[in-house]
Amino acid sequence: MADKSVAVRALPVGLLLALASGGAAIAQGTKPTEVKEITVVAPRITYQTKREGGSVIPKEVAIAKKTALVSYADLDLSRSADLYTLEDRIAKAAATVCEELAQELPDGEPATAVCTRRATDDAMAHLRMMTRNMATRP
């Protein structure tokens, strides 16, 4: 599981790597290899307040995110047991990146438990979409 921090305004590193590897394979005339990883994304928002004339209105909003790449290269996603294994890996990765973000930005939102649930749910939605697409391929 590789771990990357990226500003929200930038493309996720996993996407850049996938695009770069796919482009290289197309340029060489070979079939691109399938990336067997799921990206777990944990966002965190903080509000920096500066008191000017007694105001507590946020002057700056900082948005950060942390990602983890979860490999499933060793799993057969047509097997239920392997899907449960991947779901467990995703949940652990989400908990790890959310806890790291909470340590880096302790005043940020959402709470660690909410961050973990959202990051897990999002990655699982991508997994469900992926497995549906795999089932419809010839």
pLDDT at residue 6 in the model: 36
On the question of pLDDT at 119 being above 50, the answer is yes
Q: What is the pLDDT of residues 31-82, one digit of tens each?
A: 555 678 899 999 888 776 655 666 666 567 778 889 999 999 999 988 899 9
The one-letter amino acid at 44: R
94 against 2, higher pLDDT = 94
On the question of pLDDT at 7 being above 90, the answer is no
Tell me the domain boundaries of the chain: 2-136
